[in-house]
Amino acid sequence: MKQTIYEPAREVPVYDQCDVLVVGGGPAGVTAAVAARNSGAGRVVLLERYAHLGGMATGGQVLLIPFLSDPTLNGGREQLVAGLMDEWIGRLRACPNGAFGPEKEETGSGDPAVLAKYRSHTLFIRNERIMYGVNCDPEMLKVVLNDMTEAAGVVVYCHCLGCRAIVEDGRAAGVIFESKEGRKAVLAQVVIDCTGDGDVFATAGAEFESSSLSTARTAKTSLVFRLGGVSYERYAQGLRDMPDAGKRLRKAAEIAGYPMQLISSNRDGVVWVDSLIPRDCMTIAGLTDTAFLTTRTVNRLIAYLRESFPGLEDAYLYDFASQVGVRGSRRLKGVERFTMDYLGARTGREDIVAVLPTVNGREAYPRMEMPYGILVPEKLDGLLAAGRCFSSSEEANQEANWIPHCIALGQAAGTAAALAVRTGVQPRSVDVKRLRSALREQGVYL
Ligand SMILES: Cc1cc2nc3c(=O)[nH]c(=O)nc-3n(C[C@H](O)[C@H](O)[C@H](O)COP(=O)(O)OP(=O)(O)OC[C@H]3O[C@@H](n4cnc5c(N)ncnc54)[C@H](O)[C@@H]3O)c2cc1C
């Protein structure tokens, strides 16, 4: 077999030209694009490889957005994630069954009647207090995110795979993408890489780190699926009552071939099955294997769940996520590197652009403060990276790449990109004081 073939060079038509180009329409990308428009960028283009926006939150069926309040402040009522995260949730709640979870007024409550409503949905309760969060409907979220980008005037191109950054004089100047119409280019003043995998900065020649800790959450892939015909309340009660519940769950994982967890959803009678499958998400074999391992064992797994757990007697396969779930892959080498030192640390720094809850507690100061420099490449100009591929150690990334965190970083990146365009500077030279005041005006908690 030949080892390589020669692909002839060719002229690529310029399909569009804009102020800000966002590549990847997941939580970070949608937010970055909307924030850029809301912050005064003229033409904002969002390239997405699939037919829907939302990334893992829709196509990956990651339904849960937890920990949106601070249990230690203001009687546990302090809402930490605001800004466009609030708009996501508000729009979802306005749709029939768009989201399930505590109301804002219930946040911080220790009222037994309120706690009882969410008792089986444990991520909404910490230290016997309600924490704000939602179980989203992934299909309705597709509707909401299309509406949000349309309302903001973002130009969205679907089924367009960004495949190569265009770099001119040390500056990212756009992206070449592959589409049904062939290979084309979008030129931009600022490009924001929100592909999750850092596809843009990697092809731009920016330095990055790769996933390496095999025990890390970020090194695990999934093909999430949902089960119908379930009574989640009875299942959750069963887990509390059955002395051998742990043993049964371990057996289920053995049958499946991977650790997994059943988590409540917004739909009555439906749960999602979240899994942790250690595969390399940057290889064809890794992604394919995750999908096929899941389908190969799913029927045996369902049969075992039906016979072993109350509430699952009538469980059946409801649907699969349309894409393999990836928690972490390439991470930019930025001007700053987010490390474990930021978790629970009150920095007092003047360049913090996102303040978010820590997911695993840290009671003294259960927050993390994220500086602007984690979005900015060490050397390359014209580019920002937001979402799970931000500059970070792998350990810290897995604590900080949840949906709210990606949304907050997207909002910071989009706002910064618009400011860079409006003031005629490179993203690395944006006036961070102005950026922070623009974010505060958008309702971002800093
Ligand atoms: C199984 C699983 C369970 C999880 N559980 C939770 C949870 O309970 N709660 C929580 O908050 N977080 C959870 N996470 C993490 C969270 O879902 C992700 O960290 C988050 O979605 C990352 O957002 P993002 O925008 O950076 O990337 P993504 O969500 O990956 O979005 C990237 C987007 O870019 C598009 N794209 C990629 N490459 C290209 C390209 N080259 N050209 C064009 N478009 C491209 C993709 O199609 C996608 O739309 C989970 C993740 C997984 C996989």
Residue whose CA is at the smallest distance from ligand 1 atom 30:
196
Give the distance (Å) from ligand 1 centre to CA of residue 114. Answer: 32
Widest distance between CA atoms in the chain: 70
Domain coordinates in residue numbering, the chain: 15-211+329-446, 217-326
Give the distance (Å) from ligand 1 centre to CA of residue 56. Answer: 4
Residue whose CA is at the smallest distance from ligand 1 atom 38:
195
CB 344 within 8 A of CB 361: no
* Superfamily designation of domain 15-211+329-446: FAD/NAD(P)-binding domain (3.50.50.60)
Kindly state if the Cβ of 49 falls inside 6 Å of ligand 1.
yes
**What stretch of H or E contains 161?**
strand 161-168
Beta bridge partners of 221: 277, 326
Q: Which amino acid is at 261?
A: Q
Kindly state if the Cβ of 141 falls inside 6 Å of ligand 1.
no
Angstrom distance (rounded) from CA 63 to CA 135: 5
pLDDT of residue 361: 61
Name, in order, each residue with C-beta under 8 angstroms of 276's C-beta and a sequence gap of 6 or more. 217, 220, 222, 258, 259, 260
Number of residues in the chain: 446
pLDDT of residue 100: 93
Structural tokens at position 237: 């009660």
Angstrom distance (rounded) from CA 11 to CA 167: 16
**What stretch of H or E contains 438?**
helix 432-441
Give the distance (Å) from ligand 1 centre to CA of residue 26. Answer: 6
pLDDT of residue 371: 98
Instruction: At 118, give phi and psi (nearest 5°).
Output: -115, 10
Kindly state if the Cβ of 399 falls inside 6 Å of ligand 1.
no
Which segments of 216-266 are extended strands (E)?
220-222, 225-228, 260-264
Angstrom distance (rounded) from CA 398 to CA 411: 20
Give the distance (Å) from ligand 1 centre to CA of residue 434. Answer: 29
SS3 32: helix
3-state secondary structure 62-117: CCEECCCEECCCHHHCEECCCCHHHHHHHHHHCCCCCEECCCHHHCCCCCHHHHHH
3-state secondary structure 263-277: EECCCCCCEEEEECE
State the pTM of this model. 0.97
Residue 48: alpha-carbon gap to chain centroid: 15
Give the distance (Å) from ligand 1 centre to CA of residue 319. Answer: 19
Burial call 35-60: b when 16+ CB within 10 Å, e when fewer? bbbbbebebbbbbbbbebbbbbbbbb
CA proximity to 223, closest of 52, 397, 62, 401: 62
Angstrom distance (rounded) from CA 334 to CA 378: 5
pLDDT of residue 144: 98
pLDDT of residue 159: 98
Assign domain 217-326 one CATH number from 1.10.132, 3.40.50, 1.10.357, 3.30.70: 3.30.70
Kindly state if the Cβ of 446 falls inside 6 Å of ligand 1.
no
For the chain, 446 residues long, give each residue's pLDDT as a single digit of tens.
899 999 999 999 999 999 999 999 999 999 999 999 999 999 999 999 999 999 999 999 999 998 888 877 777 777 777 899 999 999 999 999 999 999 989 999 999 999 999 887 768 888 888 989 999 999 999 999 999 999 999 999 999 999 999 999 999 999 999 999 999 999 999 999 999 999 999 999 999 999 777 788 888 999 999 999 999 999 999 999 999 999 999 999 999 999 999 999 999 999 999 999 999 999 999 999 999 999 999 999 999 999 999 999 999 999 999 999 999 999 999 999 999 999 989 999 999 999 988 877 656 778 899 999 999 999 999 999 999 999 999 999 999 999 999 999 999 999 999 999 999 999 999 999 999 999 999 999 88
SS3 365: coil
Give the distance (Å) from ligand 1 centre to CA of residue 220. Answer: 13
Beta bridge partners of 161: 178
pLDDT of residue 58: 98
Residue with tokens 């999430």: 224
Mutate which of 23, 64, 179, 195 for ligand 1 pocket (most atoms within 8 A of beta carbon): 195
Angstrom distance (rounded) from CA 259 to CA 276: 6
